[in-house]
Amino acid sequence: HNQKLAYIEGKLPSELQTQLEEIGFDFSNVAIPDNDDGNERRRRKNNRKSGGTRIIWQTRYDELKAYLADTGTFDSIAADSPLGVRLNRQKEDYASQRLHFDREEKLKELGFDFGNPPVQETVWDDQFEELRIFRQEFGHTAVPRKFKPNPQLYHWCVNQRLLFKRGTLSSTREKLLSDIEFDFIEGPGGSSSTRKSFLNEEEWEAVFQKLLEYKILHGDANVPQKYDKDGLSSFTQYMRFYYKVGKLSSDRIERLKIIGFSFNPNEDRWNCKFEELKRHKEMNGTCYVSKHEELGKWTRMQITAFRKGSLTEERKKRLDEIGFDIAHRKINKSNDDDSNKKVSPTEVWDAMFNKLLQFKKEHGNTLVPEVYPDDPAFALWVGSQRVKYHNGSLSREYADRLNDVGFDWKSAEMIDQEFLNL
């Protein structure tokens, strides 16, 4: 009991703790005396988190340093060894943004590579080989739910289809599965040989007409996966799959495009959010978005994808081009995320003011129109200065600076007309 209390309070020596762990000592379920008040209980709980957990991690870190000193490399660590399992957990915590920054830095100082967890790759390769053997024996990849030789293979196949539908299956794995004619659409309760594949002309035409009716009723042709009426969900999934592997005729591609069918809804959603982030940057001068906003949640997802290695180079390049330096971004777990906010309102104002100086230099005036395609955010800022000036909310300092450069305080309508007459 005394050892447990010392552990909770962070006072248990690391050497003794290691010895106790090796003999299976359980540090949980310690009873705190009844005469402890609430503050004491909270203090001990906090000590357990900040003290005991920290000591355990430091002990494991010291073991890793000693191993590296002896061998000079991490490569010889077996994935299923205790040390390999711990390293794998650090990679998973890093990828999911749960790894504390200090721990991340300490591991990087040792040259630790936060790449994909090694165990996951081994499991995938093993199951893929099992599936390849299954196809050789049975002639298809529709693994039954209760496949006795390997009960996990069915669930593994379901997971690959789910990743494919979400657009998160890597291109390398997708190609390996395509090479053995894996059916990415086949699901529970069906067989590749009995389910509709929509390759028959009459069958395709009939379901296409149903898709037209769906669009008229719902306003788009992108059927949700759970919508099973008239076979539309399966039909749209097959069309995307056939399009991806080059098995859909140009005529059918054209007809589907005409009605607004998306062959890659995940990509379309990503592009939509990216454009939203671009507009946010134009309006605010920064890519920072609070994590409490939907766009902020999306930006955090991009950082997670980058850390897991699932963010494509193209997407990374596009994000970098608008100033979202994803490789060097860190996610603050605090409530406000203030540490990520790099540009203050004053800095934004100064940047826009400098644009105004450049506009005057090029045009000889400050008559920025309300609709200015070259820089919509700049036009909005100029308009907001006029509005604030007229309603008395513009600070004296800003008003003086604008007056010093001969800023025109006329209404937006008058400015637009004068700009057109130039």
pLDDT of 24 reads 57
pLDDT of 48 reads 47
Model confidence over 242-274: pLDDT tens digits? 887 777 889 999 999 999 998 888 888 899 999
Mean pLDDT along residues 47-75: 67
CA neighbours closer than 13 Å in the CB half-sphere of residue 134: 22
Q: Is 124 left (phi over 0), alpha (psi -120 to 50) or beta?
A: alpha
Cα end-to-end span (Å), the chain: 87
Task: State the Cα–Cα distance between residues 422 and 420, nearest whole angstrom.
Answer: 6
- Integer CA distances (angstroms), 300 to 175, 255, 297, 366, in order: 29, 37, 5, 39
pLDDT of 412 reads 53
Question: 3-state DSSP call for residue 76?
Answer: coil
pLDDT of 196 reads 54
Mean pLDDT along residues 319-329: 79
Give Cα 186 distance to the centre of its chain.
Answer: 27
- Measuring CA to CA, which residue among 175, 258, 179, 169 is closest to residue 221? 258
- Measuring CA to CA, which residue among 273, 291, 399, 281 is closest to residue 337? 291
pLDDT surpassing 60 at residue 415: no
- Integer CA distances (angstroms), 375 to 279, 345, 364, 369, 388, in order: 11, 19, 18, 10, 20
Mean pLDDT along residues 79-92: 74
pLDDT surpassing 60 at residue 421: no
Task: State the Cα–Cα distance between residues 114 and 80, nearest whole angstrom.
Answer: 17
Q: Which residues of 366-396 are buried (b: 16+ CB within 10 A; e: fewer)?
A: bbbbbebeeeebbbebbbebbeebeeeebee
Model confidence over 369-414: pLDDT tens digits? 877 777 777 887 888 888 888 888 888 889 889 998 888 887 655 5
pTM given for the model:
0.40
pLDDT of 209 reads 93
Model confidence over 138-191: pLDDT tens digits? 888 888 888 888 888 888 888 888 777 766 777 788 888 888 888 776 644 444
Do 404 and 364 contact (CB within 8 A), yes or no? Answer: no
Task: State the Cα–Cα distance between residues 225 and 234, nearest whole angstrom.
Answer: 8
For 216, residues 6+ apart whose C-beta sits below 8 A from its C-beta are none
